[in-house]
Structure 1
Amino acid sequence: MFTLEGKTLLVTGGTGSFGKKFIKKVLDLDVKKVIVFSRDELKQYEMAQEFTDSRIRFFIGDVRDKERLFRAFEGVDVVIHAAALKQVGICEYNPFEAIKTNIHGAQNIIEAAIDRGVQKVIALSTDKAANPINLYGATKLASDKLFVAANSYTGIKNTRFAVVRYGNVVGSRGSVVPFFLKMKETGTLPITDERMTRFWITLDQGVQFVIDNLSRMKGGEIFVPKIPSMKVTDLAKAIAPNAKMEIIGIRPGEKLHETMITEDDARRTLEYDTYYVIQPEFPWWSREQAMDGKLVPEGFIYVSNTNDTWLSVDDLKRLVIDQ
């Protein structure tokens, strides 16, 4: 069984919400070293004041720079790829910048990992990569395809790549929670559409799901957790029950509901107790690779508005308070 004990890990985008929580968690697992790879020196400086463990290293670099990645990956066993341009509106207005980071950067990660003999790579994806309607989602779909396909040309290096796809993270940078908390003081919360729903996951749950899948992965899977949905109007009621809701209309690139598994992907999707696996279409992939999962039924689709599990206003209040 794969274990992180004694391993050297590298996290791209390591100063972000996910990276900081992930690093804090794996430092309890007796890892050998954790490398924070990111391009913002101020964030690295601030993180170094908070994280004083001697096993942490800070590496300034950009995923767009393949040579820098090659240097950073020396002696690395596991890479968690969390770096991305992910603000939907910003990606819409700066499309090729998103392409250079989210697509070209993904390919650079893949090539550096293979060349350096990294054992396992997990890339973080998003629900917006399934049936994308915005550029961010389209770049992450392309990234997912690259990481899955990378398993076919690792040669003798035996590097394995997998993807983790999940929904909105409670309280992460740029999420609606800090925005609503800020707008609460005005007495009015802007709501794009009162019908809007989203998948919802905590940062702790997202981090643990990634750690769990390092052991599960064989190479080429897209792992999708079973998580609850919530109504944006219920979130508004949880944060500011006395505030007025102002309907402002859906923004460019925004969906009414989010999808994590499409009907076409469902033909290759296996269900487990707490997650799904979208299987790769490799000649070497077999049912033995997937162990005890069961195929989802014909016509299955995993969408936020038809989910079986929902968060109530009280549930959302507790989640927001815990952040």
Structure 2
Amino acid sequence: MGYKQRISLLMLIDSLIVLVSVVFSYWLLSPTLYLAPAVVGISSVTLFIGHHIFAHVFKLYKRVWQYASINELLSITTAVSLSIMTLAFVQLLSFQTVYSRTLLVTWMLHILLIGASRFSWRLYRDTKMQSDKNKKRTLIIGAGNGGTLVARQLLNSGTSELYPVAFVDDDVTKRDLTIMGIQVIGNTKDIEKVVVEKNIEHIIIAIPSLIKCELNDIFSKCAVTKVKTQIMPSVEDIMSGRVSVNAIRDVQVEDLLGRAPVKLDNKKIADYLTGKTILVTGAGGSIGSEVCRQVAKFHPKAIILLGHGENSIYSIDMELSTITDGIVIKPEIADVQDKQRIQTLIEKYEPDVVYHAAAHKHVPLMEKNPHEAVKNNVIGTKNVAEAADEAGVTAFVMVSTDKAVNPTSVMGATKRIAEMLVQHMDMISETKFVAVRFGNVLGSRGSVIPLFKKQIEAGGPITVTHPDMTRYFMTIPEASRLVIQAGAIAKGGETFVLDMGEPVKIVDLAKNLIRLSGLTEEDIPIQFTGMRPGEKLFEELLSENEVHSEQIYPMIYRGKTPPVNVNVLYDLIEKSHHLDKGELKDLVLDIAHFKTKYLTQLSLVE
């Protein structure tokens, strides 16, 4: 039905209701007046005109009545009451009296019939939805603003496959209340019982203020039921504008990591990024590209995207070009191992800040290719750091890893040596050089999560190296924020570390992913394959001699390692290409641990 036809139909219905209300009330209470055409006629015409005027004033013809609520009832009552008051005034002028009893009955009958004509649309819609056997019976966890919003969205959506039948909420004051016809029938401890009793086929967690450990607890209760569980966005996502408040989505493993997200000191960061030229190495990688996205929010003058992979640099270039306005984006294909090329680019753009994210990070692959690890992670860092120093860059921030602490792998050892180089550069340069360590990054290239997901899609098994293998985890945005914040608060020479909460067992992560897929360990078994070369059971973020107990920033700690004679270190690294794999691995691990004959030499600072 078209818009004009709909209004015409409503006006016709209302006109009939006005006539019926006036005639019936006079016939019922004032039969003598009912026989007086003047009284009935003037009353009918007056009420007819008054009703349509106030109906337009209160937009009774423009409301979507299938979603009618208490607000619509109040509008009907107000419009009808004003119409009756107008009629009373006309009667007083015309007949020097007001037929109050008849007007009272007319008023009540008018409201009753108008309300019934409108709410019948809502009743028809709700009855139709309840009788739709294709809709999934849905439990909403949280009966606050978030839960109410979700319930209204589901009730008002004719296309949704979900229908809300119950709330659960831990607030005892809401117990047994009814919200939009849906009862609050228990708390989160009752989830499994409610699912059985109400034949629940779908669950929505609708508490956007939940911190991750609380969400993990609730999701664990939902997972026991084996019912598909979704979640409404977090407060952070809603406030940032990344998603709308009604964007229901699947629970992700990132949601279940029990740590509050890192919050930025936006003012301090803006002071050192806004209007500046920023260069990011490894800009096409997981961390580098996210650093670029985060930096762009602070309106720098330019962002230089430096990377070796043309496809990844092209991708982030295209993305930033569409979301940034007034920021110069310059993609540059270059290898950090090419010293001359790096010097040329840094001299050309004269960046104020360099974020050095380019590195080889895959532990088993670097065990097999130690020469490439040294060339990229050590020599590449040396090239970028020295070029930054020569160009007078204000701050140089190197992305490091927890595997650099007491390293057992070539990758970890080369990153530790790169930290030594950065700390030495801070001692001899006007540029502030710092390193930032964090644990495993969810969703990054080489992350265990994509591997586990592929294994689940293939029907299993999920392969885990050891049942006691634990790691620190964080999300890509969190890691990138730490990198940016470190540059803003750096004084020079520090190694910054995020308070990453408790380490997570890899096997528990695998179990969470299985549950998130709606499966059980019977469906997807977990197979232990044994530790790979270079791996450690447990990771550390700072060694004992690096720890500074004070927290220099919310959730950020500072460590500082002993200084080294990097001239000796440079000499050793330059000879590395003459060594075979085994010799080179032993060399970099000895250097990283200050072992053997290098201990005295490395501890001497010129």
TM-score scaled by length of structure 2: 0.45
Q: Which 10-residue stretch deviates more, 16-25 or 138-147? A: 16-25
RMSD: 1.5
Q: 1:21 aligns to what?
A: 290
State which of 385, 391, 394 in structure 2 corresponds to 1:116.
391
1:84-103 matched pairs, under 5 angstroms = 84-103=359-378
2: distance between equivalents of 1:224 and 1:51? 28
- State the one-letter code of the partner of 2:315: E
State which of 251, 257, 260 in structure 1 corresponds to 2:541.
260
Deviation at 1:40?
1.4
- State the one-letter code of the partner of 2:500: I
Query: Which secondary structure state, in structure 1, belongs to the residue aligned with residue 541 of structure 2?
Result: strand
Deviation at 1:193?
0.6
2: distance between equivalents of 1:256 and 1:73? 40
User: Is the radius of gyration larger for structure 1 or structure 2?
Assistant: 2
Query: Which secondary structure state, in structure 2, belongs to the residue aligned with residue 29 of structure 1?
Result: coil
Q: Does the CA-based 8 Å contact 2:545-2:561 persist in structure 1?
A: no
Offset from partner CA, 1:81-117 (integer Å, 9 cap, x none): 0000111111111111110110011111111001111
Q: 2:439 aligns to what?
A: 167
Q: Does the CA-based 8 Å contact 1:189-1:245 persist in structure 2?
A: yes
1:5-44 matched pairs, under 5 angstroms = 5-44=274-313
Query: Which secondary structure state, in structure 2, belongs to the residue aligned with residue 254 of structure 1?
Result: coil
Bigger proportion of residues as helix:
2
2: distance between equivalents of 1:200 and 1:223? 16
Structure 1: where are the runs of 5+ without partners? 283-323
TM-score scaled by length of structure 1: 0.83
2: distance between equivalents of 1:281 and 1:251? 30
Deviation at 1:271?
3.1
Q: Does the CA-based 8 Å contact 1:269-1:279 persist in structure 2?
A: no
Q: 1:147 aligns to what?
A: 422
Q: Does the CA-based 8 Å contact 1:270-1:278 persist in structure 2?
A: no
State which of 509, 515, 527 in structure 2 corresponds to 1:235.
509
State which of 531, 538, 555 in structure 2 corresponds to 1:274.
555
Query: Which secondary structure state, in structure 2, belongs to the residue aligned with residue 252 of structure 1?
Result: coil
- State the one-letter code of the partner of 1:68: R
2: distance between equivalents of 1:162 and 1:269? 18
Offset from partner CA, 1:235-267 (integer Å, 9 cap, x none): 11111132211111111111111011112222x
Deviation at 1:270?
3.7
State which of 250, 257, 279 in structure 1 corresponds to 2:531.
250
2: distance between equivalents of 1:257 and 1:97? 25
Q: Identity of counterpart residues, as a percentage?
A: 38
Deviation at 1:280?
5.3
State which of 203, 214, 218 in structure 1 corresponds to 2:487.
214
Q: Does the CA-based 8 Å contact 2:494-2:560 persist in structure 1?
A: yes
- State the one-letter code of the partner of 2:292: I
Deviation at 1:71?
1.5
State which of 469, 472, 476 in structure 2 corresponds to 1:196.
469
Q: 1:4 aligns to what?
A: 273
1: distance between equivalents of 2:310 and 2:526? 39
Q: Does the CA-based 8 Å contact 1:222-1:279 persist in structure 2?
A: yes
Deviation at 1:269?
5.3
Structure 2: where are the runs of 5+ without partners? 1-267, 564-606
Is 1:178 the counterpart of 2:450? The answer is yes
1: distance between equivalents of 2:507 and 2:285? 27
- State the one-letter code of the partner of 1:248: T
Q: 2:258 aligns to what?
A: none
State which of 46, 49, 56 in structure 1 corresponds to 2:318.
49
Query: Which secondary structure state, in structure 2, belongs to the residue aligned with residue 128 of structure 1?
Result: helix
Offset from partner CA, 1:284-314 (integer Å, 9 cap, x none): xxxxxxxxxxxxxxxxxxxxxxxxxxxxxxx
Q: 1:296 aligns to what?
A: none
- State the one-letter code of the partner of 2:418: S
Deviation at 1:233?
1.2
Deviation at 1:68?
1.0
Q: 1:72 aligns to what?
A: 345
Query: Which secondary structure state, in structure 2, belongs to the residue aligned with residue 85 of structure 1?
Result: coil
Deviation at 1:187?
2.6
Deviation at 1:55?
1.6
Offset from partner CA, 1:118-168 (integer Å, 9 cap, x none): 1100000001000000000000000011101111111xxx21100000000
- State the one-letter code of the partner of 2:487: L
1: distance between equivalents of 2:428 and 2:388? 12
